[in-house]
Structure 1
Amino acid sequence: MPSLTVENYLKAILQIGLRESAEWVSAGQVAQALGVSPGTVTSMHKTLGEADLVVYRPYEGVCLTEAGQMLGMRVLRRHRLIEQFLVETLGLSWDQVHEEAEHMEHAVSDDLVERIDEFLGRPRFDPHGDPIPTATGTWPETVESATTLASCPPGSTVRVVRVTDQGAEFLQFLTHNGVALGVEGRVVSNNATAGTVMLEIDGAAVSLGGQEAAQLMVDRL
């Protein structure tokens, strides 16, 4: 069974590659994601390469092999299903489940994860709108129409479908201001120079910084 550290690295490499739409991921990117030094990452990249879980190239980074991709997807599947389970069955809020799932994802078996998936009705998305990989390592069928709130011009009517920053503080801010998955609103203003976006939800204005607005994925209606 892969160690907790190996699973964390493979999941991080997978998520960075997905976020950046990149095949190769640098040591610096992984170091930032995991909060460790680049030297530590380079050492682990070599170890993962020796285990045929990544292809490692000095000064370029790593690319997941088929085996590394499958293992990374398994960990990500566990994480997102656990998050959904905690929200649906235990009533935890979306800002509470990420850290819990970080610990639990390494302790549950694939058999238990399959039972959780079946119990929940095989959900396609987790509480933050992230797609949940299938047991065979594929993604659920989705319509790729979402864009960032930061890219929407004033006057746009939008529906929130995903939040890519899952830090508790940011999610609590969104909840306090009535922003949640499925909520619809209107872009009142979008000032790229000032780096601010004003969103109106049910008559109330929500002011977001440019970076915050970039973490909200929306469908334009």
Structure 2
Amino acid sequence: MKSPAASSSIEDYVKVIYSFTEWQDKPISSTQLAQRLGVANSSVSEMVRKLKDLGLVDHKPYSAVTLTEAGRGLALTVVRRHRLIETFLVEELGYAWDEVHDEAELLEHAVSETFVDRLAAKLGHPTRDPHGDPIPDADGALELPAARLLSELDEGHHGSITRISDDDPELLRYLSREGIDVDTHVEVGPRKPFSGALQVLVSTADGGAGHPAELGEQALHALWVADDTPHEGCTLA
């Protein structure tokens, strides 16, 4: 997957634009882009103009920012690097899943495509990273699993966690303490009165004994669930 020469700032911008829209159809605005990158709106406006001149984004005043075909290709190149590095840090260097995002942010701009291809081969060409995000192949192809946010599921729904947002390391640590990881099976229970926390039954991918957990809105909007066959004996009281 070839990409034009680009600065780390350009790579960061196209990656954020892509990542924002990967799991939803809503495009990103300049304000949201500024918030995610931690920069001023004026800086975003200037960079978006530059990206448009380079043919990487489409943008009209007061409208959303969208990637062109070239912009998407560059974004997928960066995403592939980032997610392979995260996978390597967890599988080979013993990092916890809440530690790898910032490390990968630093390393993704410093490695060559040859390094990335050999890293993929070393890891056995994984198709997803430690948080369940798909890893593009060398041609930029990837497949998103059919999944819905846990917040959208009705009581009694069964499924397996297929993706967990890595935006908040503290949330990842909390989910680890609750035994929630990619491929963990969950059964949706009722909302608790007044507090609004959702009760779920958590069990391992092989159908082991489940345990209850209570998840607030932040967690519910960070977990994607794919339908599967209910495990025998896993029911909320």
Choose which of 54, 58, 62 in structure 2 pairs with 1:55. Answer: 58
The answer on 1:134 being equivalent to 2:137 is yes
CA–CA distance in structure 2, aligned partners of residues 195 and 215 of structure 1:
16
Within 5 A, what are the aligned runs for 1:168-207? 168-190=169-191, 194-201=195-202, 202-207=209-214
The answer on 1:10 being equivalent to 2:14 is yes
The answer on 1:30 being equivalent to 2:33 is yes
CA contact (8 A) 1:159 1:219 kept: yes
Using the TM superposition, give the Cα deviation of residue 191 of structure 1 relative to its aligned residue in structure 2, in angstroms. Answer: 5.7
CA–CA distance in structure 1, aligned partners of residues 21 and 126 of structure 2:
23
Q: TM-score scaled to structure 1, two decimals?
A: 0.91
CA–CA distance in structure 2, aligned partners of residues 62 and 47 of structure 1:
12
Using the TM superposition, give the Cα deviation of residue 57 of structure 1 relative to its aligned residue in structure 2, in angstroms. Answer: 1.2
Larger displacement relative to structure 2 (31-40 or 13-22): 13-22
Partner in structure 2 of residue 156 of structure 1 = 157
CA–CA distance in structure 1, aligned partners of residues 145 and 184 of structure 2:
18
Q: What stretches of structure 2 of length at least 5 have no aligned partner?
A: 203-208, 229-237
SS in 2 for 1:20: coil
Choose which of 215, 232, 237 in structure 2 pairs with 1:208. Answer: 215
For 1:4, give the aligned amino acid. Answer: S
CA–CA distance in structure 1, aligned partners of residues 193 and 68 of structure 2:
39
CA–CA distance in structure 1, aligned partners of residues 69 and 167 of structure 2:
28
SS in 1 for 2:55: coil
Q: Which runs of 4+ in 1 moved over 4 A?
A: 191-194
CA–CA distance in structure 1, aligned partners of residues 43 and 145 of structure 2:
39
SS in 2 for 1:132: coil
CA–CA distance in structure 2, aligned partners of residues 30 and 143 of structure 1:
25
SS in 2 for 1:118: helix
SS in 2 for 1:161: strand
For residues 43-100 of structure 1, give each alpha carbon's deviation from its aligned partner in whole angstroms, at most 9, with x where no partner exists: 1001111122222311113221222111111001100010011111111111111111
Using the TM superposition, give the Cα deviation of residue 212 of structure 1 relative to its aligned residue in structure 2, in angstroms. Answer: 1.5
Q: TM-score scaled to structure 2, two decimals?
A: 0.85
Partner in structure 2 of residue 101 of structure 1 = 104
Within 5 A, what are the aligned runs for 1:42-121? 42-121=45-124
Using the TM superposition, give the Cα deviation of residue 192 of structure 1 relative to its aligned residue in structure 2, in angstroms. Answer: 9.5
CA–CA distance in structure 2, aligned partners of residues 55 and 152 of structure 1:
34
Using the TM superposition, give the Cα deviation of residue 158 of structure 1 relative to its aligned residue in structure 2, in angstroms. Answer: 2.5
How many residues are aligned here? Answer: 218
Bigger helix share: 1
For 1:218, give the aligned amino acid. Answer: V
CA contact (8 A) 1:150 1:213 kept: yes
Cα 1:135/1:203, change in 2 over 3 Å? closer
Cα 1:183/1:4, change in 2 over 3 Å? same
Using the TM superposition, give the Cα deviation of residue 203 of structure 1 relative to its aligned residue in structure 2, in angstroms. Answer: 4.2
Percent identical across equivalent pairs?
Answer: 39
SS in 2 for 1:182: coil
Cα RMSD (Å) of the superposition? Answer: 1.9
